[in-house]
Chains A and B, each alone.
Chain A
Amino acid sequence: MNPEVCLTCEDVERFLGEDESRVHALRGVSLTLEAGTVHSVVGPSGCGKSTLLYILGLLDTPDAGCITIKSEAVLHLPDDQLARKRNELLGFIFQFHFLLEDFSAQENVMIPMRRLGKLPEKEMLDRAAMLLDAVGLESKRTRPSRHLSGGEQQRVAIARALANDPEVILADEPTGNLDTENSYRAFELLQRIVQDGGKALLLVTHNPQIAELCDWVHEMKDGVIVNTHARA
């Protein structure tokens, strides 16, 4: 049986900058993310990894190509509906956590849930508590996120990305700001969630050890995926 396809992109092109500084950041990139798989994108700085991630996350629009989420083409959708797709189907994890510093860990996790608006306050609190428990922060739920360590903040970011039970998790160097031990812990956590929950994870990383632990590794160079290989 073929695994369910969560997200695909075909022949994605993206130009960045204007006039003389115009750069061809993505040159016909195609990718397919199936449920329950972990993909990594590796390559040198400036090769287009983050650009690809923001386009797949519907935060940026490609100049050409097609993106489908759950078999639905999405690029023609208006901005409000793209926002809704981001809220319902996608979860973002950034390198620098990007938590709302004045909000507690619990409140940060609840932000996507509030926008979705499907759960009452009590259930949102319960779900946030459950997710924070899952990332090992049960004792620090009410602590303002700026008072958490780097590793703890990244775990809050992971819990937040999972808040609305997304189909696809997009992570931009999620371990780039962590020490080795915390990097592996964070990756293992994500890997477990993806495999247990039947989600797809696309990970941009500079860390070759982390990349090699993924199901699929996509090597990028100058805006092109030059090589794709499965885990050895």
Chain B
Amino acid sequence: MTPPLYIALRFLSHRKRAFLLSLAGVVFGVAIFICSQAQTQGFAQQFINSTLGSNGSVVLRARFQPLGTGLLVPPKSSSAKANAMHRRYLEGITNAREIMRVSRQFSNVAACSPVLRGTLSARAGFENATVDLYGIDAPLHVQTTDLTKQLIDGSFDDFRDNATSVIVGSKLAEVLNLVAGDSVQLLSPGGDYWRFTVAAIARSGVGPVDAGRIYCHAKVAQTLLRKPFPASMIIYKLRDPERAPALAKHFEALFQHDTQSWQEREVGNLQLFLTLRMSAAITVSLIILLAGFGIYNVLTMSVLSKVKEIAILRSMGYRRADISAIFLWQGAMIAAVGSLLGCTAGALLTWGVSHIPIRVRGLIVTDHFLVAWDWRHYFWATLLAIIAVFIASYVPARRAAQLPPVSTLRGSSV
């Protein structure tokens, strides 16, 4: 143990109240930081998981053809929007099987599934609703999405084995008063109603999906929607969803189909969550900053009360750097113990918050507070605390080192 560390420990042990006060500030700041980040990220993560589980990481849609621009030279750094203005889009995907076969060669593609999508009206009893019909290939869709995990009523086997069955979104089922086993009628573009059996009810956790989606078999959807093509989009499940934008860009160039990553698709919601996290982080950082002010005051008072001791130590051969280190060590111990206790308290607080019941039925669906367990929250909280405490300790430590010992030794009388 270095002499400054030894003396710092002894000084701290004789100023327990001030030490505990400083410690409490750091513990409180770190714990609140961790808990708030865990919450905001928890809700964001739930949304991301839900949307990936329902809509995939990448969606490949309509084919496009570049429009002739004559003698016009395209700009070197043309944006996606500018590109889109020079395209002609053709509805549907005619060679979905071939695109999927090629797509599967990419290492990041875990699974893909064709979907024929259309909008029509649904009727059950006296209730009507506009629905988003997803014609799916059941075995492939199960591999690509979390549909089987989302079922809250009925069974997927019933759906798979019965061509005239459908899976209905949970909120839509509430609107139409449907449960598994009921029947629902879908209005075809030709004006005639088709009757389907509700095989299951699905809750994805994404509000718009649960409020409007109905899954049926792809071949039935093609007939019902009177489409000449078997798929209007292909959804992809990726091994690393974070790399979706790069893959989407590559697929768009490769297949000449409009392709969108989940980050692009959910940009508005993701920005909302990011803003909330930033807002929470700034608020809680202020708490840590306040704790830093507290430590600054405590250490400044400590320096003032230890002027005589500093002079004595200097007279015994302690260097300015040693004196400075004594007070920096005190700050370091407050930061270390405070961060350790703060991280523990933060984890306990996060666990406690995750058990608070809350009913959310909107952008996401949940019955309790959502939290994310991420080591980075603890890292950043600790780093923030260390920086704040170091800054708070540095000035008093520097002041202590500059104190001239002679004037103190001359003027002191016990």
By a beta-carbon cutoff of 8 Å, the part of chain A in contact with chain B is 50, 54, 57, 59-60, 79-80, 83-88, 90, 92, 94, 96-100, 102-103, 107, 111-112, 114-117, 160, 164
Taken together as a complex, chains A and B put the C-alpha atoms of A116 and B316 apart, in Å, by 10
Given contacts A96-B414, A111-B316, list 12 more A-B pairs with CB under 8 A.
A59-B405, A79-B320, A80-B321, A83-B314, A83-B317, A87-B318, A90-B317, A92-B316, A94-B409, A96-B412, A98-B308, A116-B317
Interface 0/1 of B306-345, CB less than 8 Å to A:
0011011111111111100000000000000000000000
Interface flag for B149 (CB, 8 Å): no
Residues on the B chain within 8 Å of A112, using CB: 316-317
In this complex, what residue of B is CB-closest to A117?
A: B3
Q: Is B359 an interface residue (CB 8 A)?
A: no
B322 touches A59 (CB 8 A): no
Verify B312–A96 contact, CB threshold 8 A.
Answer: no
Shortest distance between the CB of A128 and any CB in chain B (Å): 14
Cβ contacts under 8 Å, B414 to chain A: 96-97
In angstroms, Cα B405 to Cα A160, docked, is 18
Chain A residues, Cβ within 8 Å of B413: 96
- Asked if B14 is at the interface of the complex by the 8 Å CB criterion, the answer is yes
Expressed in whole angstroms, the Cα–Cα distance for A30 and B167 within the complex equals 105
Summed over the interface, the residue pairs from A and B with CB atoms below 8 Å come to a total of 72
Once the chains bind, are B315 and A57 in contact (CB under 8 Å)? yes
Contact with A along B46-85 (1 / 0, CB 8 A): 0000000000000000000000000000000000000000
Q: Can you name 12 A-B pairs with beta carbons within 8 Å?
A: A50-B410, A59-B409, A79-B319, A79-B320, A83-B314, A84-B317, A88-B317, A98-B412, A102-B10, A103-B10, A112-B316, A164-B317
Chain A contacts of B315 at CB under 8 A? 57, 59, 86, 92, 94, 98
Using C-beta atoms within 8 Å of the partner chain, give the interface range for chain B: 20 to 34
B406 contacts the other chain (CB 8 A): yes
Residues of B in contact with A (beta carbons under 8 Å apart): 3, 6-7, 10-11, 14, 308-309, 311-322, 405-406, 409-410, 412-414
In angstroms, Cα B81 to Cα A232, docked, is 107
Q: Chain A contacts of B10 at CB under 8 A? A: 102-103, 107
Residues of B within 8 A of A115 (CB): 3, 316-318, 322
Chain B residues in 8 Å Cβ range of A164: 317
Query: How far in angstroms is the closest Cβ of chain A from B404?
Result: 8
A98 to B409, alpha carbons, bound, how many Å? 9
Task: Give the shortest distance, in Å, between B19 (CB) and chain A (any CB).
Answer: 13
Task: With A54-B409, A103-B10, A114-B6 as known contacts, state yes or no: A98 contacts B312, CB within 8 Å.
Answer: yes
Do A54 and B3 touch across chains, with their CB atoms under 8 A apart? no
* Nearest chain A CB to B401 CB, angstrom units: 10
CA distance A103 to B8 in the complex (A): 12
Min distance, Cβ A80 to any Cβ of chain B, angstroms:
5
A88 to B410, CA, bound (A): 23
What residues of A have a CB within 8 angstroms of the CB of B311 in the complex? Answer: 98
A117 to B309, CA, bound (A): 20
List, in ascending order, chain B residues with CB within 8 A of A117's CB: 3
Q: Is the CB of B316 within 8 A of A59?
A: no
Residue of B nearest to A98 (CB): B312
B309: chain A residues within 8 A (beta carbon):
100
Q: Which residue of A lies closest to B3 (CB)?
A: A114
B13 to A, closest residue via Cβ: A102
Considering residues A92, A96, A114, which has the most beta carbons from chain B within 10 angstroms of its beta carbon?
A: A114
Across the two chains, which residue of chain B brings its CB closest to A94?
B409
A83 to nearest B CB, angstroms? 4
Q: Give Cα A83–Cα B320 distance, bound, in whole angstroms.
A: 9
Q: Given the complex of chains A and B, what is the CA–CA distance between A116 and B129 in angstroms?
A: 86
Contact partner, B14, options A60, A94, A102, Cβ 8 Å: A102
C-alpha gap A164/B323 in the complex (Å): 20
Kindly list chain B residues whose C-beta atoms are within 8 Å of the C-beta of A79.
Answer: 319-320
Q: What chain B residues lie within 8 Å of A97 (beta carbons)?
A: 414
Cα A164 to Cα B319 in complex, Å, equals: 16
B35 to chain A, nearest CB (A): 38
Known A83-B319, A96-B414, A115-B322; judge A59-B6 contact (CB<8 A): no
CB A92 to nearest CB in B, in angstroms, measures 5
Which residues of A have CB within 8 Å of B7?
Answer: 111
Query: How close is A166's CB to chain B, nearest CB, in angstroms?
Result: 10
Chain B: minimal CB distance from A178 (Å): 13
Contact of A60 among B3, B6, B406 (CB under 8 A): B406
The smallest C-beta distance from B3 to any residue of chain A, in angstroms, reads 4
Closest to B413 in A: A96
Most central of B311, B312, B318 by chain A CB within 10 Å: B312
Q: Are B406 and A54 in contact (CB under 8 A)?
A: yes
Chain A nearest CB from B173 CB (Å) reads 73
State the CA gap A79–B322 with chains docked (Å). Answer: 12
Residue of A at shortest CB range from B412?
A96
- B412: chain A residues within 8 A (beta carbon): 96, 98
Instruction: Give the Cβ gap from B315 to chain A, nearest Cβ, in Å.
Output: 5
Q: Closest CB-CB distance, B195 to chain A, in whole Å?
A: 88
Distance of A57 Cα from B406 Cα, bound (Å): 10
10 A-B pairs with least C-beta separation? A87-B317, A114-B3, A86-B317, A102-B14, A83-B319, A112-B316, A96-B414, A98-B312, A60-B406, A92-B315
**Contact with B316, one of A54, A87, A96, A102 (Cβ below 8 angstroms):** A87
Write the nearest CB–CB distance from A163 to chain B, whole angstroms: 8
CA distance A102 to B10 in the complex (A): 8
Determine whether the beta carbon of A83 is less than 8 Å from that of B406. no
A99 to B249: give the CA distance in the assembly, Å.
74
A-chain residues with CB within 8 Å of residue B406 when the two chains form the complex: 54, 59-60
A85–B317 Cα distance when bound, in Å, is 7
Determine the chain A residues whose CB is within 8 A of the CB of B3 once the complex forms.
111, 114-115, 117
Q: Which residues of A contact B405 (CB under 8 A)?
A: 59
Bound Cα distance A164, B412 (Å): 25
CB neighbours (8 Å) of B314 from chain A are 59, 83
